[in-house]
Structure formats: structure tokens, C-alpha cells
Amino acid sequence: MKIGIAGVGITKFGELWGKSLEDLIIDAANQALIDSKLDKSKIDALFIGNMLYGKLSNQDHLGAFAASLLGINVPAFRIEAACASGGLAVHLAIQSILAGSYENVLVIGAEKMTDYPSSEISLGLMGAGSEEERHAGLTFPGLYALMAKAHIQKYGTTKEQLAATAVKNHYHASLNSNAQYPFEISIEKVLKSGSIVEPLTLLDSSPITDGAAAIILSKSVKPDQVYIAASAVSSDNLNLSSRETLTELKATQIAAKKAYTQAKVSPSDIDLAEVHDCFTIAEILAMEDLGFCKKGQGGKFIEQGTTRLGGKLPVNTSGGLKACGHPVGATGVKQILEIAQQLKGLSGKRQVKKASVGLTQNVGGTGATSVVHILKI
Amino acid sequence: MSNSPVVNWREIKSLHKFLNKKGEILVWTKVNVGPKGFEHQVPYFVGIVEFEDKTKRSVQIVDCEEKDLKVGLKIETVVRKLGKVEAAEVIDYTVKVKPI
């Protein structure tokens, strides 16, 4: 598979009180159009990843909503797969090009979260879980805390290893001016930040964020252009308690295996990755499920510095969900953008040297959807 | 948590399937920040339990203290009010577990 990335655009991520969802969509999409040097009349279809806007604001019909903001009359689709909405939108856009229907497709991921109180956002996000979980008084921090506890019980993973993940991602974010939290933190600060659900603290958790990212995908790949070499998705039981194990994301394992086959690469060929660190334990699980290290070794792998900028396999150079921010529908698109910029050598202070193959992993819920992309130049 | 009386009526009919079940805790944790409807209960305990019939379920763990909780602790199901009930709302019930 060879799908060209013709252009990219991204807004600042953060608490953007002065910006509406409309502003974010227009900003990211226009930047992508300018970057691609394509006139908007060349866009054949639009896909927008968004999870919560309909629920929070009562504005649905987001496909046509986004197309009309940009002044284009094209087939327009809103894709929802919880926090994997953006990644799934990219996947579907690719499928539409592979099907031969469209030449150039605009993919937008956008989420406006700070207009509403956090208790309402937590409840909204729990739409990604199951009724059984909602009835148990569980939230996403709660579900990931259970996964963290299971990992600690089985493999002896430590709170310091969890914290090291957040510390690394904050370091990366300190080099990214678009990040929500562009500053460093210490292990001690993570451990001493308030407990949300044990063992996860406030600083083990990704924040509530406004932001949008956009990319333009093309059937043709120009020389020196980054292209998508693999796009794979898998689903799993929505219900954490119904899974075979709490310490593995089967959907990630299946999607990763497919993606490696499609791109004809192995985990050791990956030069950098953007993974779904909604909570620190999620990045540890991702390292294992993507095959970067042995099962149970994810905490140690991160703590050793292997995935820090300058290490063998830099992970979440954007700052990840933790420190760049997590506007849920935008995250999967932002991950593609981060890797594309890195492969083109446009990442400034956080540039990874000699990178030619990158991977993204975007998760919905506690692993009921997982989307894996591999990019090359 | 639904405000539809029809949904409550339909769901309450299957509640009996979870009555009188015994099992043990596979993993548990303490929730310090809860979602809407559960704020008044924090801190509270949740876990994934395995019943004797090998089915598993995410549940709230009630009638216990933190020092008593451990992996492998024997539990049984109880029916309890789901979360906070506002004056004009239908009262929602659900299955929770307590130590035996």
C-alpha cells in the first residue's frame, strides 16, 4: 500500500477558551490545504473524526458541518470510535482511495472539550465503555487503573516506571510549541500529584484538551513525500472484564501484526512511534503489544530511556496524549502528522535523526478499537 | 444510568440472573474521583470479580474497608441503588458485591 500524505495542518492543543470547534476545524484544514498546494476544488471527500461534540453541544451531522465550513460540496463523513475516532477516520479515508472512488481526501480530527465541566466530560467519555462498567461507577482512569494493577500484580511493574512514562512525554512536549503542557516534570512530582484511581495519579493521566489536526491523503505519491504503507484496525470486547486478559490489548496485537505484514517490516525496523498514552500504563502495554519489547518488560523498557528522544526508538515525540494533549477525535490524526513531519525532517528541536519508518497506534476505549498505521519515506 | 422508565423496567427483569452469585476478586482498586452520580460515594472500591460459574464482571465492592480487600477475597452479589438519585428520577438498581 502507498497512500501519499500531501499536506498536514494542526492547531495549538490546550484549553482554547476563545476557540470554537468551527474555528479549530477551519484552522487545521486550511493549513493542510496550504501545505498540500492543492486547491480545495481538488478535494474529493472529507472524513472527520470526532467523539463528543454531538453529545455535548447537540450539534450532529458533523460531516456536512465541516464541509460547509470549508465551502466544499463533497461526500462528507463523521467517524466515531471513541478515542480512536481520528485513527479510524484515517483508515476509512485510505480505504476510500484504495477502492478507487477518490483521488484526494481531507481527514480532520477535532474535539472541543473545555466548554463543559469535567464530570460531564468523564460521563461522556464513558460512552466508550460498557453499561456494566458505567454501573460499577467506573471511569476511564478506573478501568486503566485496574489494568495497571493487573500488570503490577503479574509483572512487578512499579509506580516509578509508570511515572517515567509521563516524565519522558513531558520532556518531548517541552520541545513542541503546539503542546498543551510544554514543560518538564519529575518522577517525584508525578508520584505526589493527587490520586485519581489507585495507582494512577493526576500526572499519569492525559488531560482534557481542545484541538484539531488535518491531513490530506492522495492516491499519487510524489518523490520525497511521506506515504502510508500500512493501515490496520481490529476490535475487541467493549467490556474489560470479558477480555481474555487485562494485561494485553488483543486489538493492538492483531492490528499491529496486520500492519507489519502490509508494510513488510518488523518491529525492529520502526525508527519512531506515536502511541496511545491516555494513561501511563497504556504506553507500557503498547510497547509490549506492538512487539517493541517482551510482555511484562514495558515499564523497564521505558525507564531505561530506550524510548526517549536520543534513544533507540523514540516514542511520542509530540509529547503524546499525556503532554501534547488529548482532544479525543483529533489524537489519531495528530499522530500521523507528527510522524509525517519527523520523517520529512521538519520537527526542529525534537527531530529524530535518520528516521525513515514510523508507526502510530490509536486506541478506542480500553482497547475495544485499535488502529495501527505505518508510515515511510 | 438511564432516565427512561422503560429501560429501567426492561433491565430490572434480568437483574435476578446476578442474584446469589459467589466468587472472588481478581483485581480491585480505590476510586478517589468518581463520575457524575457517584461523586458522593468517593472514595469507593471497584474491581473485576470471577464468579463460581467462571463468568467475570466489573462491579462496585461495598460493605468493606480497604484493609480487608485483597486479590482472591471471597465475595457475593447484592442488589443496591446504582448512584445518586434526584427527587424526580426513577430509582435505578444494580448488582454490587460484598465480602462474604
**Residue A257, C-beta contacts closer than 8 angstroms, at least 6 positions apart:** none
C-alpha to C-alpha distance for A155 and A271, rounded to whole angstroms: 27
C-alpha to C-alpha distance for A12 and A348, rounded to whole angstroms: 16
| DSSP track, A45-90 | EEEEE-SSHHHHHS---HHHHHHHHHT--S-EEEE-BTBTHHHHHH
A83 is catalytic: yes
Fold of A3-117+208-218: Peroxisomal Thiolase; Chain A, domain 1 (3.40.47)
**What is residue A315's DSSP assignment?**
B
pLDDT at B3: 67
**Residue that the C-alpha cell 514495558 belongs to:** A298
Task: For residue A117, give the chain B residue with the closest CA.
Answer: B36
Tens digits of residue pLDDT in B35-66:
888 989 999 999 999 999 999 999 999 999 99
Q: Tell me the domain boundaries of chain A.
A: 3-117+208-218
Neighbours of A120 (CB within 10 A): 16
Split into its structural domains, chain B has a count of 1
Q: Is the pLDDT of residue B89 over 80?
A: no
Chain A residue numbers with beta carbons less than 8 Å from the beta carbon of B44 are: 137
Q: Does A223 touch chain B (CB under 8 A)?
A: no
Instruction: Looking at the complex, report in whole angstroms how far the Cα of residue B35 sits from the nearest Cα belonging to chain A.
Output: 6
pLDDT, average across residues A222-241: 96
C-alpha to C-alpha distance for A291 and B52, rounded to whole angstroms: 35
Mutate to test the interface with A, among B29, B42, B55, B91 (most CBs of A within 10 A): B29
Q: Are A6 and A217 in contact (CB under 8 A)?
A: yes
Task: For residue A145, give the chain B residue with the closest CA.
Answer: B29
What region does A39 belong to: left with phi over 0, alpha with psi -120 to 50, or beta?
Answer: beta
**Residue A277, C-beta contacts closer than 8 angstroms, at least 6 positions apart:** A165, A169, A206, A283, A286, A316, A320, A321, A322
pLDDT at A229: 98
Rg (alpha carbons) of chain B, rounded to whole number: 14
Tens digits of residue pLDDT in A337-371:
999 999 999 999 999 999 999 999 999 999 999 99
pLDDT, average across residues A150-172: 98
Q: Is the pLDDT of residue B11 over 90?
A: no
Domain extent at residue B75: 5-99
Active-site position among A91, A172, A276, A326 = A326
**Residue A335, C-beta contacts closer than 8 angstroms, at least 6 positions apart:** A86, A87, A274, A318, A360, A361, A362, A373
The three cell numbers of residue A24 are 479549530
Q: Are B38 and A122 in contact (CB under 8 A)?
A: no
**Residue A190, C-beta contacts closer than 8 angstroms, at least 6 positions apart:** A162, A163, A166, A167, A201, A203, A204
Q: What percent of chain B has pLDDT over 90?
A: 67
Q: Are B99 and B74 in contact (CB under 8 A)?
A: yes
Give the CA diameter of chain B.
Answer: 40
Burial class (CB in 10 A: 0-12, 13-18, 19+), A222: exposed
pLDDT, average across residues A307-317: 98
Nearest Cα to A260, choosing from A231, A285, A217, A294? A231
**ipTM for the whole complex:** 0.94
pLDDT at B2: 61
Q: Is the pLDDT of residue B87 over 80?
A: no
Chain B residue numbers with beta carbons less than 8 Å from the beta carbon of A196 are: 32-33
Nearest Cα to A205, choosing from A215, A195, A213? A195
pLDDT at B9: 86
C-alpha to C-alpha distance for A211 and A327, rounded to whole angstroms: 6
The minimal CB distance from B36 to the residues A119, A133, A141 is found for A119
